[in-house]
Each structure stands twice: as structure tokens, then as C-alpha cells.
């Protein structure tokens, strides 16, 4: 499942950079439409990845003795910084993903173009990776 998501991500992710210049008059409307479609399709491998990681975390919680619909959440190792990293990363990915959906729309992008919205979207998508690396380094340094 992970390889499929990775291949889909590469196919749809590479050509979507044009959404950064949706407001430039040199970019044709057909080109903008095509790239908006590709930008929307990036959500497919992202959702596959989120589902796979969430299912893995649920299985780990159930193997630790979690019972019931959400009992597995309490059974997770919340004292481990890696659990915090995964949870915090998912929260930021969700908020940044909603921002990406707004950015992929030509009309909504016109409203948020050249505003702090774009900076916030970038930070939520890529800044979360830096936070996760810091937490992983904090967890692995003593080992």
C-alpha cells in the first residue's frame, strides 16, 4: 500500500507547483485547470498514507490491550516522544491539507494570493516535518 501511495504522490505532486503562479497572466486557463486537477489528486495518496499510518497505530494500541471503539487510544505509549510526533504531525497535516484544497482552486487562490495564508500553508505542510525530525532526534539521542 505504501508503494502505491508513493508512486501516486510522485505522479500527481511533481506537476502541481504551478498553483503558486495561478494569478500570473502568462499562465493559460487550460493549464491552470489541468494543474488544479493534479493538485486535487494529491489528496488521494495523502489519504492512503494517513489511513495506513492510522491503522498501524490502532493495531499497536489493540496489541497493547486496548478494548472497545476508542480504548486503543488510551493504550498507546503516550510517554514516548514518537507518539507525540505522529499525533502532532497528523494534526498539522490535516490543517495544512485544508489550506492546500483552498490553494488548488483558482478562484479561492485569487483571494489568498500574496497573503500570509500561503506562508501558513507552507509552514503547516513542511514545517511539521522539521518538528517531527526534532522530536525523533530528541528520542533517539540517548540511544
Q: Which tens digit of pLDDT belongs to each residue from 82-92?
A: 888 888 888 88
- 127: which DSSP letter? I
Global pTM reads: 0.69
d(CA 48, CA 44): 6
Domain ranges of the chain: 2-140
pLDDT one-digit tens code per residue, 6-48: 777 677 666 666 666 667 777 777 877 877 787 778 778 878 8
Residue with cell 522530536: 135
- Give the H or E element holding residue 95: helix 81-104
Amino acid at each position: 500500500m505504501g508503494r502505491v501511495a508513493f508512486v501516486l504522490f510522485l505522479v500527481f505532486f511533481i506537476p502541481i507547483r504551478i498553483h503558486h503562479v495561478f494569478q500570473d497572466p502568462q499562465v493559460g486557463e487550460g493549464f491552470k485547470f489541468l494543474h488544479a486537477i493534479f493538485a486535487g489528486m494529491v489528496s488521494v495518496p495523502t489519504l492512503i498514507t494517513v489511513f495506513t499510518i492510522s491503522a498501524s497505530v490502532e493495531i499497536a494500541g489493540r496489541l497493547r490491550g486496548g478494548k472497545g471503539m476508542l480504548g486503543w487510544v488510551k493504550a498507546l505509549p503516550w510517554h514516548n516522544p514518537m507518539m507525540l510526533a505522529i499525533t502532532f504531525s497528523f494534526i498539522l497535516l490535516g490543517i495544512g491539507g485544508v489550506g492546500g484544497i483552498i490553494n488548488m482552486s483558482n478562484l479561492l487562490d485569487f483571494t489568498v494570493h500574496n497573503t500570509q495564508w500561503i506562508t501558513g500553508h507552507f509552514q503547516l505542510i513542511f514545517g511539521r516535518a522539521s518538528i517531527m525530525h526534532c522530536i525523533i532526534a530528541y528520542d533517539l539521542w540517548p540511544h
